[in-house]
Amino acid sequence: MNAAASSVQPSSKRIIVIFMALAAGMLLAALDQTIIASALPTIVGDLHGLEHYSWVVTAYLLTSTTSTMVYGKVSDLFGRKVVFQIAIIIFIIGSMLSGLSQSMNELIIFRAIQGLGAGGLMVVAMAIIGDVVSPRERGRYQGYLGAIFGLATIAGPLIGGFIVEHYSWRWVFYINVPVAIVALVVTQLVLTMPFIRHKVAIDIVGAVLLTAAITGIILVTTWGGVTYQWGDWHILVTSGVSLVLVAAFLLWEQHAKEPILPLRLFRNSTVSLTSASSFIIGMSMFGAIIYLPIYLQLVKGSTPTVSGLQLVPLIIGLMGMSIVSGQVISHTGKYKFFPVAGSIIATLGFLLFAQLHVNTSFLVLYGMMLVLGIGIGCIMQVLVIAAQNAVTQRDLGVTTAGISFFRSIGGTIGTAVFGAILTNRLLSNLTHDIPPAFLRALPKGSSTSTLLTSPAALAKLPAPLHAAIELAFSQSLDTVFVWAIPIAALSIIVTLFLREVPLREHAHIGSIEESLEIGVIQDPEAGEEPSPEKALVD
């Protein structure tokens, strides 16, 4: 590498400061996916909008997921720093407005704005790490980011519950503002990144088609089995329209001048396999794990706050292995072992959870959580490293966004699918195992959904009926984990086909001039775009 190229690489101290600012942004986005969970009952009671309960979460999920690919591509075209800062500003505005909401409709709209900023915080932060840190050293930092994401998953409900109990629910949103401002200031001061501006056109049509298609898919998975029956015309029509939009998007992307999701990337086997594995991980792991707190509350009688604390073994496994895998990858330069081993361990974890029953001891339960957490920790961030290492700097943002995008969509679909399995199995178990006299003893207005979302309502039932429902729920949850086993096992097959591509020793921003010389990064005046094979040129 020439002197000019190497001179632009940030020092270790500056990388640490940059990483802290990026981590603050990612922490905010990850926290806001879960922090509202324990605050929602209070918010609904204050704003009087029970019928719009789920949309407070769905609105955030819709905009954060659909904007992911847009942020990735736009950051590739116009630079990471400015796009990351715009995302922070949008997030601050959405947080402030959410805290000021006077009705549920206002809160839903403002949560959508907040999600629009959050989508950029997570994706662009990971892409910036890919820019300033070489793939060989990136494992260490990606491991820390994975640990932060895991911490936020558990800390969110705990922080939300504490704020609601001791302060106003509005501080669930206001608390984001000072942290986001600090991240904005720090990135402005220390994040200096050379950038080659390309003559490009924004793929507006592709962005609209993708957003519409994903919106339809999320609506189907959110409504199905909850708002409408799966065979209802609303579900059927929305599903049909979504499939048409997906087909239209894929067709358009083949001919777009500057596609928002370049389909040529998927000719790179590493990108294809890591995207597939991310989807599987999202579907099997996040789709099933979300029901563990319900088990702890309904079957074990834990409060919402305590059930969050009881998930700590899962997070210890996830955080610990994220950090360990990152350190090992940075030391050895090898990464394939971890997603393969992680998929095997995660499958074993689901096999163990399939044995869950009413009398499972907490010690055994914590051991199951630890195993599953270790499996997830081996996979999540390692897939990002592998994908980033396989593409050029020009495609770094959109590739990073793609991994996050497929994982998020997988989690959304998995949550809906496993939710349907749980509900249907529970109804069957209740009908089969509980005497009709007990079912008739249910208080007026009670329903399966009420019991599943209200441990307090369950606790008021007669002891025999209470115990019977606990047993029916435990057996139904076993079925969810049984279905998760083959899905997780599919990740083993996918990751086995990953190639062990040597991790580059230099960062992307440290090799811009050298890359121009060998044709890895396209110059504004250059002609043909480099082929996917050149992405692996060191």
Alpha-carbon gap, residue 112 to 118, rounded angstroms: 10
For the chain, give percent helix, strand, coil, nearest 5. 75, 0, 25
Residue 212 is encoded by which pair of tokens? 């519409």
Length of the chain: 538
Distances (CA, A) of 386 to 26, 381, 402, 492, 521: 20, 9, 13, 16, 19
pLDDT reading at 89 higher than 90: yes
Q: What is the mean pLDDT of the chain?
A: 76
pLDDT, tens only, 119-163: 888 788 877 777 777 666 666 676 677 677 767 766 776 777 777
Lowest mean pLDDT among 71-75, 199-203, 368-372, 527-531: 527-531
Residue ranges of alpha helices (H) inside 100-200 are 104-132, 135-166, 171-174, 176-190
pLDDT in tens, 5-19: 344 455 567 777 777
Mean pLDDT confidence for 35-55: 69
**Cα(21)–Cα(6) distance, integer angstroms:** 23
DSSP symbol at 224: B
Q: Which domains does the chain have, with CATH numbers?
A: 3-203+257-536 (1.20.1250.20), 204-256 (no CATH)
| pLDDT for the residue numbered 534 | 41
Predicted TM-score (pTM) of the model is 0.73
What's the pLDDT at 348?
A: 94
Section 156-182 average pLDDT: 80
Report phi then psi at 533, rounded to 5.
-65, -30
